[in-house]
């Protein structure tokens, strides 16, 4: 049997990028703790991974869910923390319900922050560890019709960059993954199916790039040359233009759809 390279805790692992990340880490001989709401789906994935896998079913949008996950992990050493679980709302801000907004902030920001805060001290004490925070290209600019989602991902990017400097000499690295359009259930439900395939990345490729960036201790990874070029171009444009382009990006193929969409 191969020797484990450590244990990776992956949130939102039942589909999309989270599932692809679980497969990527398993292929690289990590033991796993995978969590999401859908226990049956987690069990199906676990049987296919060929590595030691612990399943924790919980809803990280609630404080009880975060507490449950932490309790289930217990004293296990977490060598890699992957904060992937997320939610998005498509539609105008004024049309969102207060519970929907609170749910998004709880999952995208609070849960990620709490889990990082909980597992980081152990990594610092050992002088080794890695944290991957899944942000988005939306981290870099406002996105009308995805206003709260984009703002939450801007938080994730800012937190990641700040921690990377605070932890510079600690042996712990923090990486922000900033994917663009990726073929997942979340994309299907929010954006529709009329997006040109050339603009959409596969979850498998995004996960591979995320893993490489994490192992190389990169602070930010934007998968795909097209996405990198778009972000580079946007840095040199006036804010009014970026706001307008963001509106087009958010509405592409959505035809006014609204509602919460979970990435896990």
With 90 as the cut, is the pLDDT of residue 233 above it? no
Q: Which residues contact 195 (CB under 8 A, 6 or more apart)?
A: 181, 187, 252, 253
3-state secondary structure the chain: CCCCCCEEEEECCCCHHHHHHHHHHHHCCCEEEEEECCHHHHHHHHHHHCCCEEEEECCCCCHHHHHHHHHHHCCCCCCEEEECCCEEEECCHHHCCHHHHHHHHHHHHHHHHHHHHHHHHHHHHHCCEEEEEECCHHHHCCCCCCHHHHHHHHHHHHHHHHHHHHCCCCCEEEEEECCCCEECHHHHHHHCCCCCHHHCEEHHHHHHHHHHHHHCCCCEECCCHHHHHHHHHHCCCCHHHHHHHHHHHHHCCCCCCCEEEECC
For 39-55, the pLDDT digits (tens) are 999 999 999 998 999 99
d(C-alpha 61, C-alpha 67), whole Å: 11
Q: Which residues contact 252 (CB under 8 A, 6 or more apart)?
A: 191, 192, 194, 195
> Per-domain residue ranges for the chain?
7-262
d(C-alpha 178, C-alpha 133), whole Å: 9
Residue 14 falls in which region: left (phi positive, over 0), alpha (psi -120 to 50) or beta:
alpha
With 60 as the cut, is the pLDDT of residue 202 above it? yes
pLDDT at residue 225 in the model? 74
Range with lowest mean pLDDT among 17-21, 111-115, 201-205, 258-262:
258-262
Residues annotated as part of the active site: 149
For 173-189, the pLDDT digits (tens) are 999 999 987 555 555 55
d(C-alpha 237, C-alpha 151), whole Å: 19
pLDDT class for 216, splitting at 50, 70, 90? Answer: very high
For 139-166, the pLDDT digits (tens) are 998 888 889 999 999 999 999 999 999 9
Q: What is the mean pLDDT of residues 124-129?
A: 98
Return the CATH fold of 7-262: Rossmann fold (3.40.50)
With 50 as the cut, is the pLDDT of residue 258 above it? no
Nearest of 224, 146, 138, 186 to residue 18 by alpha carbon: 186
With 80 as the cut, is the pLDDT of residue 1 above it? no
Whole-number average pLDDT of the chain: 87
Residues listed for the chain: 264
Contact 10, 26 (CB under 8 A): no
């Amino acid at each position: 049997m191969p020797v484990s390279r450590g244990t990776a805790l992956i949130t939102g692992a039942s589909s999309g990028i989270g599932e692809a990340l679980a497969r990527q880490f398993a292929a690289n001989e990590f033991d796993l703790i995978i969590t999401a709401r859908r226990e049956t789906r987690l069990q199906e994935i676990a049987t296919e991974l060929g590595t030691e896998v612990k399943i924790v079913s919980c809803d990280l949008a609630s404080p009880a869910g975060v507490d449950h996950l932490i309790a289930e992990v217990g004293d296990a050493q977490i060598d890699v923390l992957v904060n992937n679980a997320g939610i998005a709302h498509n539609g105008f801000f004024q049309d969102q319900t207060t519970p929907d907004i609170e749910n998004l902030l709880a999952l995208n920001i609070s849960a990620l922050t709490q889990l990082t805060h909980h597992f980081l001290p152990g990594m610092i004490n050992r002088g080794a560890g890695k944290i991957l925070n899944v942000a988005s290209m939306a981290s870099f600019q406002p996105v009308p019709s995805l206003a709260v989602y984009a703002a939450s991902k801007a938080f994730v990017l800012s937190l990641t960059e700040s921690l990377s400097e605070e932890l510079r000499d600690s042996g712990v690295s923090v990486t922000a993954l900033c994917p663009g359009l990726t073929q997942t259930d979340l994309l299907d439900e929010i954006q529709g199916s009329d997006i040109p395939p050339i603009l959409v990345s596969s979850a498998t490729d995004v996960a591979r790039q995320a893993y490489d960036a994490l192992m190389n201790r990169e602070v930010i990874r934007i998968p795909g040359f097209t996405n990198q070029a778009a972000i580079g171009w946007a840095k040199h444009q006036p804010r009014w233009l970026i706001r307008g382009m963001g509106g087009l990006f958010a509405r592409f193929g959505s035809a006014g759809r609204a509602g919460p969409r979970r990435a896990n």
